[in-house]
Structure 1
């Protein structure tokens, strides 16, 4: 999460690098931004969906913005022999298709030939198995010929390859950094980017961390969560800490409850085999939703320095009260208005008990949040696509309005809309027109598109750029990963009572009724997924 150069935090992190001239120079970088240091990006899994859909579009957008150094090189490693020209053309076709389908993903909704040619010249394909010594010997030979020595290894592969790839990198000497290498230094940094799932429970996460850290230092490991690459997620800190209106009330004395929602209308989309092994809870709660919870609940850091921010987020992970079966509801979509049931999906067992919906009540055991429930929910085949955070304030005393024609006052709710709508809204009460004191609920809202020019973004641009700079603010540390898994371990491995029951819900609905009952026990209710005022925009 790089800050602009006029801030003290960025002054110490801004790289000193030289952009060399050439026939395919990248466009000029935006004001206040400098290109990342020259480096070689090695992508394991170069032929995979992640590389095509997210990494390459993000690199292309960074090139359009002039944020990549002219000395950039990209080596794609994958199974199977293939000419570099064939790989380039495959990526080019994918980018063209994405540009046509998703204008917001690319500048001007079409490819810029100059920027693509700049990227294409820096692509090189290398065939290799991820678990053989020959692959890494060959890679070492290529990297020894690269200028500068700065290398990022991106593991865009399934989780079973994380350990062997890191082990082979370590044994081949590819993780050794040059003397004095580090942020803003072109003396030879070596960094590893690892996608989720980072473990499947506490024991496996600890084992994976221990294995990786036996070959690399913690400062070299960038555990990526693409939720944190969204501008609207990073904006949570700005809303909280840059506004005197919000920060004084951001505590248990004024806040009644918090809801964090990540709802999807799609099903498993052909990923039944993966989902059968994972489920909604593992896939979303201990990582994506806990990351959002951390941004909402963390104490103010002393600066936006990476460790200052990550220390505060780690405190929240450690303060989460371990969840029990009473705090959790699981659901599975059945045939409904939005389509077929989960058990009818390809590669799904006809008697599957895998959850496609998970809701949880979470408490943070610290001074600021004691007694405030955080309600988290995620699910597929729901009534609307919506990722948002709703902060509900405590009610005001009703006595003043006891003689007015209202039974209760609508609660004040601040909603941070993350996806697909980007913005903020606030629900509050006013007097309706007329001679009688009657209260009416209204909403004030702001949309990013009304104030800021839309920027091409797939969610990985900031994360890749920060990794090149050596800014770890938006990446997870080992301790935070493990404390998050620790908080849910009793749900994944219940000591008593058996497995969590899975309740059915109709495809296209708001979720299982049992999730409503979870909140009703506390006198609360979910915010409706279908919200006309927002849906019409």
Structure 2
């Protein structure tokens, strides 16, 4: 099956921070792939903007090197690359001064979509927004893309929202969370709301519990200075895992439209109960790689791992727990949402046949796909013995895609910005509600002076996280 590519309208996309790591690793390779798939019109332009004083030719060469580093060689046809690079331009610009802004205004066209990607530190968001308006560059229909971290608590998120709102309407602001651009995350909505098979069972009557896992094999590495001020709660739970929780738990929107979807996600966040300290496990990796060796503070109490048990206080989910976990230096890399359905209310089979429960696993990475475990009779003579078998759908296998060519999150989300589709982007009140729930949890463990527990590098996490499940008669799904 070949995916249908719908071209977007002509656009001018300005990447502030155009010489940064995110632009090099993600944004520019994503744009090239959209160009190579025929989604980017010939008169589209990409303008890099940064403090570095260099020519457009020098930046174009830098972009070419980035493509060679982060994309397979077989994708980089000489003619194709040349055509893409011809659409690039560059400007040295001072985000907090006046240099470069008149030149940027002169380059912008009036008859195409305008988009400005703020691939810079959040401290520069306000300055960029102000200068785009004071110099008469951004039109009333222009779009801005802002990366996380979007604040580090409720007060800073509110201040940031207020700063952006001075110059841009909410309909112009695209707060990007790349997890929402993953194919399987969007398929979660298709599974729930496009199949009569699942939605009637998607509630506390039939679902025993839900597990959401985002596990990483790597440590904090060169991000130690940033990460130690953030930790797993701010870096992952408040945004990525929160978004996955919302899409899993939300009510059906009345239509697949940006504000309808985001309204339902917001209701989930506002329905979250406070989390008891006994339902939270925080950890730091130790062993051959140690968290304290990767950060400057030798007595740091920042968590590199967190697991927690949550409840959504509404009719649909009353009594059904959601277990979240995320961490670094774990046994395996993987992200998934696992819905454990309840066992049958009465088994008609002999006791030794076993009583099995259905499990729906939605894999985000690696190998995006869906796995539904169903109960069947074990083949062979000797009576009725029940076993679980997977109905496995890998997107690459089932749909005929080469996994290396399935569009990644940034490809999809950047094109959604150009289209003006905010469905997969966070709204300001959604971000603030997430922080309003997160802040008391963080303040609670600070007030108790909690110290993270140790877990071995390459393990599945702290023993205490296993007990979080075991005390409820449940267990985490094994990391691959």
| Equivalent position of 2:11 in the other structure | 39
| C-alpha contact 1:137 1:172 (8 A) present in aligned 2 | yes
The CA distance in 2 between the partners of 1:349 and 1:148, in whole Å, is 52
| Equivalent position of 1:165 in the other structure | 128
| Equivalent position of 1:462 in the other structure | 412
* Change beyond 3 A, Cα 1:457–1:31: closer
- CA-based RMSD of the aligned residues comes to 2.0
The CA distance in 2 between the partners of 1:524 and 1:32, in whole Å, is 42
- 1:227-263 CA distances to partner (integer Å, 9 max, x unpaired)? 1111111111111112222111011110010000000
Q: Where do 1:521-536 residues align within 5 Å?
A: 521-530=471-480
Q: Determine helix, strand or coil for the equivalent of 2:100.
A: helix
| Equivalent position of 1:72 in the other structure | 44
| Equivalent position of 1:21 in the other structure | none
Match of 1:63 among 35, 50, 57: 35
CA-CA distance at 1:131 after TM superposition: 0.8
* Change beyond 3 A, Cα 1:114–1:522: same
| C-alpha contact 1:263 1:386 (8 A) present in aligned 2 | yes
CA-CA distance at 1:33 after TM superposition: 4.3
Q: Where do 1:433-444 residues align within 5 Å?
A: 433-444=380-391
* Change beyond 3 A, Cα 1:492–1:163: farther
| C-alpha contact 1:323 1:488 (8 A) present in aligned 2 | no
Match of 2:88 among 123, 128, 133: 123
| Equivalent position of 1:209 in the other structure | 161
| Equivalent position of 1:350 in the other structure | 298
The CA distance in 2 between the partners of 1:315 and 1:232, in whole Å, is 22
The CA distance in 1 between the partners of 2:449 and 2:138, in whole Å, is 42
The CA distance in 2 between the partners of 1:428 and 1:32, in whole Å, is 32
| C-alpha contact 2:29 2:71 (8 A) present in aligned 1 | no
| Equivalent position of 1:381 in the other structure | 329
| C-alpha contact 1:423 1:446 (8 A) present in aligned 2 | yes
* Change beyond 3 A, Cα 1:115–1:159: same
Q: Determine helix, strand or coil for the equivalent of 2:208.
A: strand
Q: Where do 1:464-483 residues align within 5 Å?
A: 464-483=414-433
Check if 1:241 corresponds to 2:213: no
Q: Where do 1:379-458 residues align within 5 Å?
A: 379-397=327-345, 400-401=348-349, 403-405=350-352, 409-432=355-378, 433-452=380-399, 453-454=401-402, 455-458=405-408
Match of 1:341 among 276, 290, 303: 290
CA-CA distance at 1:294 after TM superposition: 1.3
| C-alpha contact 2:347 2:355 (8 A) present in aligned 1 | no
Q: Determine helix, strand or coil for the equivalent of 1:331.
A: strand
CA-CA distance at 1:170 after TM superposition: 3.0
| C-alpha contact 1:325 1:500 (8 A) present in aligned 2 | no
* Change beyond 3 A, Cα 1:163–1:494: farther
CA-CA distance at 1:118 after TM superposition: 2.2
CA-CA distance at 1:293 after TM superposition: 1.0
How many residue pairs match? The answer is 475
Q: Determine helix, strand or coil for the equivalent of 1:40.
A: strand
Listed as ranges, the gaps of 5+ residues in structure 2 are none
Q: Determine helix, strand or coil for the equivalent of 1:494.
A: helix
| C-alpha contact 1:430 1:439 (8 A) present in aligned 2 | yes
The CA distance in 2 between the partners of 1:176 and 1:361, in whole Å, is 45
| C-alpha contact 1:362 1:373 (8 A) present in aligned 2 | yes
* Change beyond 3 A, Cα 1:424–1:458: closer
CA-CA distance at 1:381 after TM superposition: 0.7
CA-CA distance at 1:153 after TM superposition: 0.8
The CA distance in 2 between the partners of 1:269 and 1:245, in whole Å, is 44
The CA distance in 2 between the partners of 1:191 and 1:522, in whole Å, is 47
Match of 2:25 among 29, 53, 67: 53
